A and B are shown apart, each in its own frame.
Chain A
Amino acid sequence: MSTPSQEQARPPLVEVRDLVKHFPIREGIVIQRQVGAVQAVDGVSFDVLEGETLGLVGESGCGKSTTARLITRLLDPTSGSIRYRGTDIATMSRRQLKPLRREMQMIFQDPYSSLNPRKTVGTIIGEPFVIHGVEKDDKRRKARVQGLMETVGLNPEHYNRLPHEFSGGQRQRIGVARAIALEPKLIVADEPVSALDVSIQAQVLNLLRDLQREMGLTIIFIAHDLSVVRHMCDRVAVMYLGKVVELATSEQLYSNPQHPYTGALLSAVPVPDPILAAAKTRQVLTGDVPSPTNPPRACRFHTRCPKAVAGTCDVTEPLLEPKERGGEAACHFPLSSSEVAEAVPTAR
């Protein structure tokens, strides 16, 4: 595990600044006019350091998947910049992007719908080579694909099988093989294990970790399962309603969360230990996440925050800034150590 000082030494691979994505809501059948916007991502800034795994966590609708799709430019940002190795890719055209696509790949949540059911596994994994014109010779391409299948723990003899002949965990391995085919620098994994059975999850998580070590991959890891994120990630960004509310190393975030929302998330995780489960006072957030079409003003969490102070939290927006006890958080009244100890079962 790396210490903060080592991490400072790593150069950033991706620098995201003030990234915004608004999806317009239109009304009318022939003449459409915009009546509002879903503010999916609204001013997000963070760095992804080379060789690290950065976790993005938050509840559904917080903008974590949108952020991932913006970074890989599967979506066009409304505004803001995404610098990949120093070059701003936020406004690049498709043609300009194509050479960069080799370096950034995605792994998707659902191994059933992200593989073409009519294509053989060999064709699916070999497709990146064809698209980018890397390995034009059929024989050599087959050899490389079979090598990749071996790397991810699939039987190379299954080259000509179709996706439906594989189990969920094996299909996710096919997705991983396809993602690493062109030896990318950055992998964006969007909920890569949440569709898998418990006993299979660990297999895929270990595979991703081993590949990262061998290939020096940088990974953006999106998941809603906070235990999985803690296991996989060096640093974690917590998102709420399109904003990053806390950004810290895993060590820091899980033992010493600053933002009340992070505290509530950690408090809500069921712990598979009856004694710990009985000992903690679970801090239950009331209500639901507000609508991203009309998010609360100032601090977006103030409507559900147990520590919100009227006149401050609903008036001034807190900025993501370094806090005394380490890490960065966007909060006027960060949690005290005693509050953390009470609500978070794993706090030290």
Chain B
Amino acid sequence: MALLEVRNLSVQFETDDGVVQAVDGISYSVDQGQALGIVGESGSGKSVSSLTVMGLTRARNARISGEIHFDGKDLLAASAEDLRQIRGNEIAMIFQDPLSSLHPFYKIGKQLVEAVQVHQDMTKAQARDRAIEMLGLVGIPDPRKRIDSYPHEFSGGMRQRVMIAMALINDPKLLIADEPTTALDVTVQAQILDLIQRLQSELGTAVVMITHDLGVVAEVADDIAVMYAGRIIEKATKETIFAKPQHPYTWGLLKSIPRLDTPRDQELVPIAGRPPSLIVKPQGCSFHPRCPYRHDACLPQDPPLEPVPQDPGHGVACVLAHDRREQIWAELRSHA
């Protein structure tokens, strides 16, 4: 059985302007020790879906439906107290901005010790030893001394390491990383990605990596889900997404980024228009107003995520016929 199973999850927020359909019926699962990459632009619902797994969208104006099963427990039905037990213990999360995720007034040692003592029956001294061990594991030099530093005394990359140490200090089964390297420089990003991969293989933690950067998921993830306007529009193994993508939005993403491994003067093909409003979504397929391959069949309803023939693990939500899609991608590819 999968460690995390999300089924038909929808999250809506009531605002003064109307109801925002942030997440609109998505399903995915993550097995133990596996890494899932969720790719999407701002407003695609990638963060909201993961915050909901953590129970962090339980606000008065939020309407949540669907199912979230984690390790046999129903997270949507769990009480606030149960969730608090799970959060930071069995499921941990790291965020984009490590400076605003650490308390600026307290030494990082105090914050790490607190994270341990909330969930485990340990003395302060034991917890402190555990904190020092974790800081060493994530590559903070001289952890015995640095544990008594304040967050502002660390650089951005070091702070993100502290966040990772804090997230992993209770041996979580699942780590959710929401754009963990977006605020960091490339060389530091490489260090952090290496660290996450190493810890994943050493500790067997499952990872959900949320990012807008296709390069990052190509390095870290096993499976990739591409989100657009609150829905998963394509889902497959990493190799399949990059070699045989089937959705026009995925093609658009792959063709619109400049990359180091293609000829320098290759034209970028931007996706026309901009992401839709989540309050008044386009009728039918949400991507059709920007899609160069749209036709009448796109309008009646939003196509469901359906498996590709001969590849049940590869799901696509598009009304184009399978062989037509293969044909288009072959053409797009040969232009490279």
Interface size class of A (residues with CB under 8 A): 35 or more
Contact between A267 and B265 (Cβ–Cβ < 8 Å)?
A: no
The complex places the Cα of A265 from the Cα of B189 at a distance, in Å, of 11
Contact between A167 and B253 (Cβ–Cβ < 8 Å)?
A: no
Contact between A60 and B185 (Cβ–Cβ < 8 Å)?
A: yes
The complex places the Cα of A306 from the Cα of B261 at a distance, in Å, of 25
Instruction: Name B247-287 residues within 8 Å CB distance of A.
Output: 252-254, 256-261, 264-271, 274-275
Given the known A-B contacts A205-B258, A268-B186, are A274 and B41 also in contact in the complex, defined by CB atoms under 8 Å?
A: no
Q: Interface stretch among B9-17, B112-120, B209-217, B304-312?
A: B209-217
A residues in contact with B256, CB < 8 Å: 198-199, 201-202
B residues in contact with A1, CB < 8 Å: 264-265
Contact between B242 and A273 (Cβ–Cβ < 8 Å)?
A: yes
Contact between B218 and A270 (Cβ–Cβ < 8 Å)?
A: yes
B residues in contact with A202, CB < 8 Å: 256-258, 268-271
Contact between B260 and A271 (Cβ–Cβ < 8 Å)?
A: yes
B residues in contact with A285, CB < 8 Å: 187, 190-191
Interface string of A210-225 (1 = CB under 8 A from B): 0000000000000010
What's the least CB distance linking B91 to chain A, in Å? 25
Contact between A199 and B258 (Cβ–Cβ < 8 Å)?
A: no
Most buried by B among A206, A228, A284: A284
> Could you tell me how many residues of chain B have their Cβ less than 8 Å away from some Cβ of chain A?
45
Contact between A271 and B261 (Cβ–Cβ < 8 Å)?
A: yes
Q: Please name the residue on chain B nearest to A285 by beta carbon.
A: B187
B residues in contact with A289, CB < 8 Å: 155, 185
Instruction: Name A235-277 residues within 8 Å CB distance of B.
Output: 250-251, 254, 264-277
Indicate whether B64 reaches chain A with its CB closer than 8 angstroms.
Answer: no
Interface of A is mostly: helix
Indicate whether B194 reaches chain A with its CB closer than 8 angstroms.
Answer: yes
The complex places the Cα of A201 from the Cα of B215 at a distance, in Å, of 15
Indicate whether A332 reaches chain B with its CB closer than 8 angstroms.
Answer: no
Indicate whether A118 reaches chain B with its CB closer than 8 angstroms.
Answer: no
What's the least CB distance linking B42 to chain A, in Å? 6
Indicate whether B48 reaches chain A with its CB closer than 8 angstroms.
Answer: no
The complex places the Cα of A228 from the Cα of B185 at a distance, in Å, of 15
What's the least CB distance linking A60 to chain B, in Å? 6
Contact between B215 and A271 (Cβ–Cβ < 8 Å)?
A: yes
B residues in contact with A269, CB < 8 Å: 186, 215, 260
Contact between A231 and B258 (Cβ–Cβ < 8 Å)?
A: yes
Contact of A251 among B41, B214, B264, B269 (CB under 8 A): B264
Indicate whether B134 reaches chain A with its CB closer than 8 angstroms.
Answer: no
B residues in contact with A346, CB < 8 Å: 260-261
Indicate whether B74 reaches chain A with its CB closer than 8 angstroms.
Answer: no
Contact between B215 and A272 (Cβ–Cβ < 8 Å)?
A: yes
Given the known A-B contacts A199-B41, A268-B186, are A230 and B260 also in contact in the complex, defined by CB atoms under 8 Å?
A: yes
Q: Please name the residue on chain A nearest to B181 by beta carbon.
A: A270
Contact between B264 and A198 (Cβ–Cβ < 8 Å)?
A: no
Instruction: Name A273-310 residues within 8 Å CB distance of B.
Output: 273-277, 282, 284-289
Interface string of A140-175 (1 = CB under 8 A from B): 000000000000000000000000000101100000
Indicate whether B238 reaches chain A with its CB closer than 8 angstroms.
Answer: yes
Given the known A-B contacts A199-B253, A288-B157, are A268 and B260 also in contact in the complex, defined by CB atoms under 8 Å?
A: no
What's the least CB distance linking A147 to chain B, in Å? 22
The contact sample of 29 A-B pairs, CB cut-off 8 A, is: A59-B187, A198-B257, A199-B252, A199-B270, A201-B256, A201-B270, A202-B257, A202-B270, A202-B271, A206-B267, A206-B270, A226-B186, A228-B258, A230-B264, A265-B187, A268-B189, A268-B190, A270-B216, A271-B259, A272-B214, A272-B218, A272-B242, A272-B254, A272-B257, A273-B218, A274-B242, A284-B187, A285-B191, A288-B157
Residues of B participating in the A interface, judged by any CB pair closer than 8 Å: 41-42, 141, 155-158, 185-191, 193-194, 212-216, 218-219, 238-239, 242, 252-254, 256-261, 264-271, 274-275
Residues of A participating in the B interface, judged by any CB pair closer than 8 Å: 1, 59-60, 167, 169-170, 197-203, 205-206, 224, 226-228, 230-232, 250-251, 254, 264-277, 282, 284-289, 345-346
Having A198-B214, A226-B260, one finds 12 other A-B pairs with CB under 8 Å, namely A59-B187, A198-B41, A202-B270, A254-B260, A272-B214, A273-B259, A274-B238, A276-B261, A277-B215, A282-B190, A288-B188, A345-B261
